[in-house]
Amino acid sequence: MVLSSVLGFPRIGAKRELKKATESYWAGKSSVEDLLKVGKELRAHNWKLQKDAGVDLIASNDFSYYDQILDASLLFNVIPERYQKYSLPQIDTLFAMGRGLQRPATDSTPAVDVPALEMVKWFDSNYHYVRPTFSHSTTFKLNGQKPVDEYLEAKELGIETRPVLIGPVSYLVLGKADKDSLDLEPISLLEKLLPVYAEVLQKLLDAGAKSIQIDEPVLVLDLDEKVKAAFKTAYSVLAEKVPAAKLILATYFGDVRPNLDAVKGLPVAGVHFDFVRVPEQLDAAVEALSAEQILSVGIIDGRNIWKADLNKAVKFVESAIAKVGKERVIVATSSSLLHTPVDLENETKLDAEIKDWFAFATQKLSEVVIVTKAVNGEDVKAELEANAKSISARASSSITNDAAVQKRVAELGEKDTKRASAFAARLEAQKSLNLPLFPTTTIGSFPQTKEIRVQRQKLNKGEITAEQYEKFIEKEIQDAIKFQEEVGLDVYVHGEPERNDMVQYFGEQLKGFAFTQNGWVQSYGSRYVRPPIIVGDVSRPSPMTVKESKYAQSVSPKPMKGMLTGPVTILRWSFPRNDVSQKVQAQQLAFALRDEVNDLEAAGVTVIQVDEPAIREGLPLREGEERSAYVQWAPESFRIATSGVKDSTQIHSHFCYSDLDPAHIKALDADVVSIEFSKKDDSNYIQNFSDYPNHIGLGLFDIHSPRVPPQSEFEKRIADILAVYPKENLWINPDCGLKTRQWDECRKQLTNMVNAAKVFREKYA
Ligand code: MET
Ligand SMILES: [Zn+2]
């Protein structure tokens, strides 16, 4: 009989219980016992939910108070000395590594200020994990036994689970060397690490675990030979030390084919593949397995919110069964469901037609079970028919399809992707802006104060009228402009007070989007996001930002930057459609934004910034066709959005959060780019963009911190940059928007920044 399995379930709770509990604990408002109790309740709830849904193989140890990779670091005692030395309780050590440890000085102790470990993106998802950090002195030992405890906890509830662990190779590859050991290659620690893995596996076996899911997601990346070889070492050692452990090696988010030679012959009981992402890898996967090994068929999408096409999924699993036989197949989610919202039932405001197209984590449980029942020959005819109906209703819905939008994208030609003139001619035309040498500007947002949130809530609750709100926003814009005058900036922004979020604000005004009330997904720690959903062809019914920009422009004679979020970023920070390519979705968004850019220009806005902070994260995980295509279409969609303007209109773009490839930025052909920069301590990084042909502003201070760098520090940074970049090309700006700062903080920061710019302006005058 074919079994159903789920690789992991969201741990945040349908009502964000985990966030509330952890933040209340951090704030000192509740005890550690209160927090642990909430964790225990959530785990019990999630296991029961899965059991009741009929899932056979339910994950345990998928729960975490912060991040599952950080949990592994704690478990293996990979705790850098700087966090060890305060002898904190376990859970506080965990939080210290995840969020940093800050304590004011007391009479007897000095102040403590230990920054958090680095946090990085989990593959191409919007989840972030805490990066394991290794030194030459790192030794591994078992610290507690969380996976065993959680396995037993479920067992006590009468629920047999399959514990999940991050695999040893991925654990090391996803980590990095600490500052004191920069020459260390984490993978070289493998042999030291394996005995601890063996110990955990043995304990799980002793506790009764029948099989163990061991995640090796790095198998979907480009791997060097050393890492590939590490799989053989790792799994042979484990098989030798714990021969009875039945391991299911799980891969997800991509194509394993280029690394199948590393998987072939491993002494594991089975391998899981993500066939939602890459159905084409079925034959190769089958080929790579021995006649005894299990094929776990990831066929229900763990990364999206769409109802699966169950009939298609059944056919796919049947084709796998035809190749390897029923005894060797497991039906599974493509990845952990961590990346999907918890329960569609909590959405009461979604249009019924649209709601019928979605499946959140809870609904996906039934999907896995229905597919499993179908291939086992149980009667699920009614379920499959209902599913087919909803799939075809979505495909033909007028919400999904907009002929005019489709036509516009189909007719896309070179003319839509190119500015009228080359940069040199545009620069000449932009002299009308009368900018000084080293022009100063900010990235867009100014403090989102409590007052702004209060007024927005009042508007939403109907306690104030739209006119009153508009007046309030105008006053905020006036204040922001006055502030910029006082600080002495050159190119102003209106401050974005009207925007709750840089993607949602646009999604709400575009046709083709839907929003949830409770569709939260963990981004990192206690920070969750609620991505908008692209449900249909995207267009812009009416201007989205012109009113505010025009108003701002009317208040001051200085150039005022219009401020938009770019097509790729809107796409990446939403749940995309799965029936249309990402490229086409980006193009549709690009045309909608092109209309907005052109309308801004017509309204007299002469500088327009289109932010693309997410452009890097969309880059496919490995080299190859898909990546080459992306580096074409992603910048092209930016150019579609921005190329409809006159030479004299200055187009800016902005990037943060990531290590960018300078070549990709070049392809945008923006007149000016601003890039997050201040936290890069690597001196080579400064060279990175040195052949950027147009103008550039390298972020000069960290907007996430209240710290005010003295003017001398700004001068030093500018001097360093000037050693590499031509002075005519340089802009002076912060890393990113200032929405998380207080007004008095950014006043001091910007004043020092502007004064430093003036020093250089005088010097070169
Ligand atoms: C994450 S990038 C943010 C850019 C936006 N214009 C802001 O200033 O907030
Ligand atoms: Zn930014």
Query: Which amino acid would we find at residue 303?
Result: R
Q: Is any atom of ligand 1 closer than 6 Å to the C-beta of 443?
A: yes
Whole-angstrom distance, CA of residue 137 vs CA of residue 180: 10
d(CA 22, CA 64): 11
d(CA 477, CA 552): 6
Please state whether 200 falls in left (phi above 0), alpha (psi between -120 and 50) or beta: alpha
- pLDDT range class, residue 704, cuts 50, 70, 90: confident
> Minimal CA–CA distance to 261: which of 239, 283, 226, 288?
288
Chain mean pLDDT for the chain: 96
Can you tell me the mean pLDDT for 554-580?
96
Question: What ligand has the least distance to the C-alpha of 652?
Answer: 1
* DSSP H or E segment with residue 128: strand 128-130
What is the DSSP secondary-structure string of 130-176? EPPEE-TT--------HHHHHHHHHHHTT--EEEEEE-HHHHHHT-E
CA dist 735 and 746 (Å) reads: 12
Q: How confident is the model at residue 679 (pLDDT cuts 50, 70, 90)?
A: confident
Q: What is the rounded average pLDDT of the residues 123-136? A: 94
Check: CB of residue 701 under 8 Å from CB of residue 740. Answer: no
Average pLDDT over residues 588-616: 97
CA dihedral over 316, 317, 318, 324, signed as positive or negative: positive
Task: Please check the confidence at residue 442 and state whether its pLDDT lies above 90.
Answer: yes
Task: Answer yes or no: is the C-beta of 444 below 6 A from any ligand 1 atom.
Answer: yes
- Residue found under tokens 């773009």: 653
Mean per-residue pLDDT, 154-179: 97
The pLDDT of 534-559, averaged and rounded, is 97
Ligand nearest, relative to CA of residue 697: 2
| Least confident window among 37-46, 105-114, 310-319, 483-492 | 105-114
CA of 568 to the centre of ligand 2 (A): 14
- Residue 47 annotated as binding site: no
The pLDDT > 70 percentage for the chain reads 99
Query: Residue 656 Cα, ligand 1 centroid: separation in angstroms?
Result: 9
332 CB contacts (<8 Å, ≥6 apart)? 4, 5, 6, 7, 57, 272, 296, 297, 298, 299, 300, 368
| DSSP SS3 for 469 | helix
The distance of Cα 701 from the centroid of its chain, to the nearest Å, equals 23
Instruction: Please state, in angstroms and rounded to a whole number, the distance separating the CA atoms of residues 516 and 530.
Output: 7
Between CA 605 and CA 649 the distance in angstroms is 8
Q: Is 19 assigned a ligand-binding role in the annotation? A: yes
Strands 527-529 and 521-524: antiparallel
Kindly state the tokens that stand for 402.
């907009």
- Confirm whether 272 is a catalytic residue: no
CA distance 360 to 308: 11
Overall average pLDDT of the 753-757 stretch: 98
- pLDDT exceeds cutoff 80 at 680: no
- Name the residue with tokens 């910048």: 635
- Write out pLDDT tens, residues 485-537: 999 999 999 999 999 899 999 999 999 999 999 999 999 999 999 999 999 99
Look up residue 244 and give its amino acid: A
DSSP-H helix ranges across 432-558: 450-460, 466-487, 504-507, 546-555
Q: Which of 77-86, 563-572, 672-681 has the highest mean pLDDT?
A: 563-572
Q: Which residues pair with 711 in a beta bridge?
A: none
**H-assigned helices in 242-309:** 260-263, 282-288
Ligand 1 atom at shortest distance from the alpha carbon of 443: 8
pLDDT tier at 109, thresholds 50, 70, 90: confident
Any atom of ligand 1 within 6 Å of the Cβ of 576: no
Q: Is the CB of 502 under 6 A from ligand 1?
A: yes
Q: How far apart are CA 363 and CA 347, in angstroms?
A: 13
C-alpha 544/C-alpha 86 separation (Å) is 51
CA distance 685 to 258: 31
Residues 6+ apart with CB under 8 A from 729: 692, 694, 695, 696
| Residue that has been written with the tokens 């642990």 in this structure | 36
Q: Whose structure tokens read 């989840």?
A: 127
Which residue puts its alpha carbon closest to atom 1 of ligand 1? 613
- pLDDT recorded at residue 346: 95
Q: What is the pLDDT of residue 263?
A: 98
Mean pLDDT across the stretch 536-545?
A: 98
The confidence score (pLDDT) of residue 682 equals 64
Cα–Cα distance measured from residue 481 to residue 493, given in angstroms and rounded to the nearest whole number? 8
CA distances from 743 to 497, 596, 704 (A): 13, 30, 13
pLDDT computed for residue 578 by the predictor: 95
- Give the pLDDT score at 681: 62
- The reply to whether 661 sits in an annotated binding site is no
Domains and CATH numbers, the chain: 3-80+117-342+349-396 (3.20.20.210), 407-764 (3.20.20.210)
pTM of the model: 0.94
Written as six digits, the tokens of 530 are 């609620």
Annotation-wise, does 280 bind a ligand?
Answer: no
* Ligand 1 touching residue 656 (CB < 6 A): yes
Question: In 152-260, at which residue ranges do the beta strands (DSSP E only) sit?
Answer: 161-166, 176-177, 212-215, 247-250
Average pLDDT over residues 69-98: 95
Query: Binding site annotation covers 654?
Result: yes
- Minimum CA distance residue for ligand 1 atom 4: 737
Question: Coil, helix or strand for 502?
Answer: coil
In the structure encoding, which two tokens stand for residue 129, read together? Answer: 């994990």
611 among the known binding-site residues? Answer: yes
Query: Would you list the DSSP string of 69-95?
Result: HHHHHHHTT---HHHHTT---HHHHHH
pLDDT at position 78: 98
Does the Cβ of 572 fall within 6 Å of ligand 1?
A: no
CA of 737 to the centre of ligand 2 (A): 6
Mean pLDDT of the region 106-134:
91
Split at pLDDT 50, 70, 90, the class of 588 is very high
SS3 736: coil
List the beta bridge partners of residue 609: 563, 652
Q: What is the mean pLDDT of residues 237-266?
A: 98
From the list 763, 749, 765, the residue with the least C-alpha distance to 440 is 749
Q: How far is the CA of 565 from the centre of ligand 2 (A)?
A: 10
Instruction: Tell me the average pLDDT across 678-704.
Output: 86
Among the listed residues 753, 709, 705, 703, the one whose alpha carbon sits nearest the alpha carbon of residue 731? 753
At 364 the pLDDT is 98
- Sign of torsion, CA 456 457 461 465? negative
Task: Fill in the DSSP letter of residue 498.
Answer: T
- Is the C-beta atom of 563 inside 6 A of ligand 1? yes
Residue of 446, 570, 611 with the most ligand 1 atoms within 8 Å of its CB, for mutation: 611
How close is the Cα of 302 to the center of ligand 2, in Å? 28
Calculate the alpha carbon distances from 83 to 48, 89, 115, 734 in Å. 36, 11, 10, 31
- pLDDT score of 286: 98
Model confidence at 683: pLDDT above 70: no
User: DSSP secondary-structure letter at 265?
Assistant: T
Q: What confidence tier does 688 reach under pLDDT thresholds 50, 70, 90?
A: confident
Tokens representing 516?
């949830």
Q: What atom of ligand 1 comes closest to residue 739's alpha carbon?
A: 9
Cβ-count burial 227-259 (b if 16+ within 10 Å, e if not): bbebbbebbebbbeebeebbbbbbbbbbbbbbb
- To test the ligand 1 pocket, which listed residue (126, 441, 442, 443) has its Cβ within 8 A of the most ligand atoms? 443
Reply yes or no on whether the pLDDT at 715 is more than 80: yes
3-state secondary structure of 448: coil
Confidence band, pLDDT 50/70/90 cuts, at residue 664: confident
Question: Would the pLDDT of 84 be above 80?
Answer: yes
* Residue 221: per-residue pLDDT: 98
SS3 524: strand
The one-letter code for the residue type at 529 is V
Of 39-43, 181-185, 276-280, 491-495, where does mean pLDDT reach its minimum?
181-185
Q: Which tokens sit at 560?
A: 């005022």
Number of other residues whose CB lies within 10 A of the CB of residue 653: 26
Ligand 2 centroid to Cα of residue 675, in Å, is: 8
| Amino acid letter, 210 | K
Whether 235 contacts 267, CB under 8 Å: yes
The answer to whether residues 48 and 157 touch, using CB atoms and an 8 Å cutoff, is: yes
The active-site residue, picked from 128, 272, 664, 704, is: 704
pLDDT of the residue at 660 = 77
How would residue 150 be classed by pLDDT, with cut points 50, 70 and 90? Answer: very high
> Minimum mean pLDDT among 218-222, 501-505, 659-663, 743-747: which range?
659-663
Q: How far apart are the first and last CA of the chain?
A: 81
* DSSP assigned state of 346: G
- Judged against a pLDDT cut of 70, whether residue 63 lies above it is answered with yes
**Rg of the chain in Å (alpha carbons):** 27
d(C-alpha 80, C-alpha 37), whole Å: 28
Contacts of residue 169, Cβ cutoff 8 Å, sequence gap at least 6? 187, 190, 216, 218, 227, 230, 231, 234
Is residue 491 helix, strand or coil? Answer: strand
